[in-house]
Amino acid sequence: MKRKLYFISLSLLIFFLFVACSEKIGTIPENYSYNYDNYLEYDYMKKAGDTEGSFSFKYPKGWVVEKLPAWEATSEKEASPDWGVELYKEGDKENKITIVGIVGGVPVDKSRENEWGKQGFQKSQLVVGNVKRGEVYSGIVENKVKTVVLYYDKDNPPRFESGWRLEAHAQVDKQFYNKNKNEIWHILASVKKIE
């Protein structure tokens, strides 16, 4: 009897863990209407070796933008493989969006995409003004809403880009996400390479 109760308890625990890990979040609807009237624009200008890695995005007042550490190549070490910024609301650095350029003519690692699927992430398209701008992976991990956007390079999916690719990662508490969802998606939708 004890053994049977043990297996029932274990089965219920596994079931609840599976449900908790695969909790879905609502992603933005296609053709969502963006309004950037009160948003600031930020241009990140970067040259990494032979790679021009510049991008821009828009963000609302009350958010802080900090550059991530990046370095040029020296005789002792290679240049940093990625560069970018973190954004967060003033006084709340725990809930942040990271936008990064990553050097590489290598495809986006398929195992990363598979890992997001195992974590129960939803896959969708970022559509802005009827144009597909990127792939979105979103889900809830350890009670945080995690969203990854792989931006397309012109019309090409990110796994076929050459030179460098552009990504954004948002990791925020559920309560923060529900309160600031509109601003988060406005930021993510505004990211683009500067050609």
- Would you tell me which CATH number, out of the four given (3.40.50.300, 3.40.50.10310, 3.30.2290.10, 3.40.1000.10), belongs to the domain 27-193? 3.40.1000.10
d(CA 127, CA 27): 11
d(CA 93, CA 72): 27
| More reliable by pLDDT, 119 or 42 | 42
d(CA 141, CA 21): 6
| Mean pLDDT, the chain, whole residue set | 77
7-16, 103-112, 149-158, 162-171 — which is least confidently predicted? 7-16
Whole-number CA gyration radius for the chain: 19
d(CA 97, CA 12): 35
CA 195, chain centre distance (Å): 21
Q: With 50 as the cut, is the pLDDT of residue 14 above it? A: no
| More reliable by pLDDT, 78 or 30 | 78
| More reliable by pLDDT, 124 or 40 | 40
For the segment 41-70, the average pLDDT, to the nearest whole number, is 85
Count the neighbouring beta carbons within 10 Å of the beta carbon of residue 105.
11
pLDDT band at 81 (very low <50, low <70, confident <90, very high): confident
Q: With 80 as the cut, is the pLDDT of residue 10 above it? A: no
For the segment 47-68, the average pLDDT, to the nearest whole number, is 84
Instruction: Give the E-state strand segments of the chain in sequence order.
Output: 39-44, 47-48, 51-52, 55-60, 63-67, 82-89, 92-103, 122-128, 131-141, 144-151, 164-173, 192-193
- The tens digit of pLDDT for each residue in 121-156 reads 888 888 888 888 888 889 888 889 999 998 887 655
Domain edges within the chain: 27-193
Q: With 50 as the cut, is the pLDDT of residue 19 above it? A: no
- The tens digit of pLDDT for each residue in 183-193 reads 999 999 999 98
pLDDT for res 156: 56
